[in-house]
């Protein structure tokens, strides 16, 4: 039965982490995986999550029953409000629905599977070049023809805005466009607000469907509202759209798989029917979503004091990342490393797209025990005040040689 099953390639990020773990070098660094670390390079359990955990632990009314198919309404509603804004007109008009998903990956998948069944449009789905590797997997997996739109300009180390607009204009009408709401992975380059306006106009002219992927709300700028600007702008223009939300990074709930798919429709009637189909789909795939992580998020988002504390925890995380950007940039300047490095401080979110090439990455891994992906992406949270100088010196060496 199985003799003709081909070997699938290993996942790049998970294999890098395995290589890092097996490495015994004292100065090894893992800047591959996108997970927050403290300055001591330890995983960070948010203090507000610890408080919510204690509340859950002491709540005698809780049991281990199944959740509703779409998740608890208090959770999905709070998640939608978080991304669309507390005064969202679309929410007030009853045009917003949501299902709890298996983190951001599940939100992407549920949205993709729904579109493939019910609203395939041109049958083409456009992802940025480059993007999070799972986008292609997920959308090809449900039967979309996946194409790329230009995004990263290696010369300016910024957004290829014209290339992106050209792709939007040339794509067949009614295509799905995956847009990173903020903190683009892997480049750390986001469109400016003016560029988002141009993107929205071009999308509307071609009747494309915006599918926002939002895995870093609060991480990009430390400001939850600012990081949701692009999504809210599209909703204000009257777009129907999906937003995949992940609470892995902004709550530090990586393993709990707490996510949400928010959908904005034209009418409350459409929303009701869409929700019914989402539930049917969900039932066949996971039956109903896991309770633990979403209960933590639910508690925090629905309590004013805990919500305020969460925002402080988010500021700590985003500021540590910004501090590491500044430190790395300064070391490269001090070393007079050839090339321009201002993109390191200009890019935002968890990652920096350094511009290092695959042969340079190979040397970083083999000679310096620094683990990063071939495309030169680094997770800023893997750097700390104790290793950033070693990292900068290693980069300086591979750039010169």
Binding site for ligand PMP (CB under 6 A): 34, 103-105, 132, 180, 185, 213, 215, 246, 248, 259
Nearest to ligand PMP of 219, 310 (CB atom): 219
Q: Cα 227–231–236 angle (5° rounding)?
A: 125
Pick the catalytic residue from 51, 160, 249, 298.
Answer: 249
Rounded to a whole number of angstroms, the minimum distance from the CB of residue 378 to ligand PMP is 14
Rounded to a whole number of angstroms, the minimum distance from the CB of residue 254 to ligand PMP is 6
C-beta of residue 85 within 8 angstroms of C-beta of residue 224: no
Residue nearest to ligand PMP (CB): 104
Rounded to a whole number of angstroms, the minimum distance from the CB of residue 272 to ligand PMP is 27
Pick the catalytic residue from 213, 227, 229, 298.
Answer: 213
Question: Is 310 one of the catalytic residues?
Answer: no
Query: CA 272 → CA 67, 98, 265, 266, distances in Å?
Result: 20, 10, 9, 11
HEC profile of the chain: CCCCCCCCCCCHHHHHHHHHHHCCCCCCEECCCCCCECCCCCECCCHHHHHHHHHHHHCCCCCCCCCCCCCCHHHHHHHHHHHHCCCCHHHHCCCEEEEEEEHHHHHHHHHHHHHHHHCCCCCEEEEEECCCCHHHHHHHHCCCEEEEEECEECCCCEECHHHHHHHHHHCCCCCEEEEECCCCCCCCCCCCHHHHHHHHHHHHHCCCEEEEEECCCCCCCCCHHHHCHHHHHHHHCCCCEEEEEECCCCCCCCCCCEEEEEEECCCHHHHHHHHHHHHHHHHHHCCCCCCHHHHHHHHHHCCHHHHHHHHHHHHHHHHHHHHHHHHHHHHHHHCCCCCCCHHHHHCCCCEEECCCCHHHHHHHHHHHCEECCCCCEEEHHHCCCCCHHHHHHHHHHHHHC
Nearest to ligand PMP of 139, 368 (CB atom): 139
Question: Is 249 one of the catalytic residues?
Answer: yes
Question: Is 132 one of the catalytic residues?
Answer: yes
Rounded to a whole number of angstroms, the minimum distance from the CB of residue 131 to ligand PMP is 7
Pick the catalytic residue from 132, 152, 310, 341.
Answer: 132
Rounded to a whole number of angstroms, the minimum distance from the CB of residue 135 to ligand PMP is 7
Rounded to a whole number of angstroms, the minimum distance from the CB of residue 136 to ligand PMP is 12
Nearest to ligand PMP of 29, 127 (CB atom): 127
Nearest to ligand PMP of 106, 331 (CB atom): 106
Nearest to ligand PMP of 30, 103 (CB atom): 103
Rounded to a whole number of angstroms, the minimum distance from the CB of residue 180 to ligand PMP is 6
Nearest to ligand PMP of 184, 343 (CB atom): 184
Nearest to ligand PMP of 113, 395 (CB atom): 113
Annotated catalytic residues are 132, 213, 249
């Amino acid at each position: 039965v199985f003799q003709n099953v081909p070997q699938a390639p290993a996942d790049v990020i998970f294999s890098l982490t395995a290589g890092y773990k097996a490495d015994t070098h004292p100065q090894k660094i893992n800047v591959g995986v996108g997970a927050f670390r403290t300055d001591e390079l330890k995983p960070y359990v948010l203090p507000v999550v610890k408080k919510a955990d204690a509340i859950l632990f002491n709540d005698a009314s809780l049991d281990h029953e199944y959740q509703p198919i779409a998740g608890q309404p208090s959770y999905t509603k709070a998640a939608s409000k978080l991304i669309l804004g507390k005064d969202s007109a679309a929410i007030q008009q009853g045009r917003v629905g949501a299902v709890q998903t298996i983190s951001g990956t599940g939100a992407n998948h549920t949205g993709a599977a729904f579109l493939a069944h019910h609203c395939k449009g041109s049958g083409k789905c456009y992802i940025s070049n480059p993007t999070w590797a799972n986008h292609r997997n997920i959308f090809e997996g449900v039967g979309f023809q996946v194409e790329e739109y230009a995004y990263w300009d290696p010369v300016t180390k910024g957004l290829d805005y014209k290339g992106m607009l050209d792709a939007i204009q040339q794509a067949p009408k009614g295509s799905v466009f995956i847009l990173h709401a903020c903190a683009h992975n892997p480049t750390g380059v986001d469109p400016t607000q003016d560029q988002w306006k141009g993107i929205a106009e071009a999308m509307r002219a071609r009747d494309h469907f915006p599918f926002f992927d939002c895995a870093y709300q609060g991480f990009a700028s430390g400001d939850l509202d600012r990081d949701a600007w692009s999504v809210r702008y599209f909703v204000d223009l009257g777009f129907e759209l999906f937003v995949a939300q992940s609470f892995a990074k902004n709550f530090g709930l990586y393993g709990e798989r707490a996510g949400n798919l928010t959908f904005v429709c034209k009418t409350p009637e459409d929303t009701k029917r869409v929700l019914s189909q989402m539930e049917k789909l969900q039932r066949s795939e996971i039956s109903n979503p896991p309770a633990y992580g979403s209960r933590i998020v639910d508690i925090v988002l629905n309590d004013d004091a805990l919500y305020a504390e969460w925002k402080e925890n988010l500021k700590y995380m985003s500021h540590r990342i910004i501090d590491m950007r500044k430190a790395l940039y300064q070391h490269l300047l001090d070393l007079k490393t050839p090339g321009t490095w201002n993109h390191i401080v200009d890019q935002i979110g968890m990652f920096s797209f350094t511009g290092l090439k695959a042969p340079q990455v190979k040397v970083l891994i083999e000679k310096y025990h620094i683990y990063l992906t071939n495309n030169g992406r680094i997770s800023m949270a893997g750097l700390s005040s104790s290793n950033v100088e070693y990292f900068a010196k290693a980069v300086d060496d591979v750039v010169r040689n």
